Chain A
Amino acid sequence: GAVVSQHPSRVICKSGTSVKIECRSLDFQATTMFWYRQFPKQSLMLMATSNEGSKATYEQGVEKDKFLINHASLTLSTLTVTSAHPEDSSFYICSAFGGGSETQYFGPGTRLLVL
């Protein structure tokens, strides 16, 4: 089956630093990748949709200058949390859509803790 990986799985950083999270589709080409955010005991909230080679589409209320998304190839999308603050601490999950499937395949998630 289709596999999506995320790196790192866990990151702790100081307030004010930037953190980059990678999302890769390992065995298929992802025409579209999605980034979600999940707070403890809450559901997934879509942050943005990224298509290879074009600018990401952000959901209402998500700061595009805060959460930079780059979808440079059909197998890689990156999310950079710029100038991270404690309130950015969350579980970030990516998903990938493509390979002729009608479903999104989810990565294992990245837990970000900003001190």
Chain B
Amino acid sequence: KQEVTQIPAALSVPEGENLVLNCSFTDSAIYNLQWFRQDPGKGLTSLLLIQSSQREQTSGRLNASLDKSSGRSTLYIAASQPGDSATYLCAVGDQGAQKLVFGQGTRLTINP
């Protein structure tokens, strides 16, 4: 059974810092991996989707990497801003991405 773990559970950094969020998964036979953002009381916003054949994806200040063999992914946020404050969820797609297994999330706070 696939298990997804995110470390740290919470992170607080001053504005402007670069930071890395970690995600690990137990079964390397994944279809894809996705990073989401969730604001309090809201739904999910997809940030980056990495196919199993890819090693990284970039969107603006965000860069996500994938190392299937070691069962790890990282989300790199450059030049953090207070608006980046949210919970970031990592999800692994199995069975043609029709099943997503989520990590517990990292609650990120960027202090002005």
Residue B83 lies at the interface, judged by CB distance under 8 Å to chain A? no
Of B14-22, B43-51, B65-73, the segment with at least 4 beta carbons within 8 Å of chain A is B43-51
Q: How many residues on A have C-beta within 8 angstroms of the other chain's C-beta atoms? A: 23
Contact of B98 among A97, A106, A109, A111 (CB under 8 A): A97
Instruction: Give B6's nearest chain A residue, CB to CB.
Output: A43
Residue B32 lies at the interface, judged by CB distance under 8 Å to chain A? yes
Given A43-B102, A43-B103, residue A106 in contact with residue B43 (CB < 8 A): yes
B102 touches A109 (CB 8 A): no
Chain A residue numbers with a CB within 8 Å of B34 are 103
Chain A residue numbers with a CB within 8 Å of B100 are 34, 44, 46, 95, 104
6 A-B pairs besides A45-B102, A91-B41 with CB distance below 8 A are A34-B100, A102-B49, A104-B100, A106-B43, A106-B44, A106-B45
Q: Which residues of B contact A (CB under 8 A)?
A: 32, 34, 36, 41-46, 49, 51, 89, 91, 97-105, 107
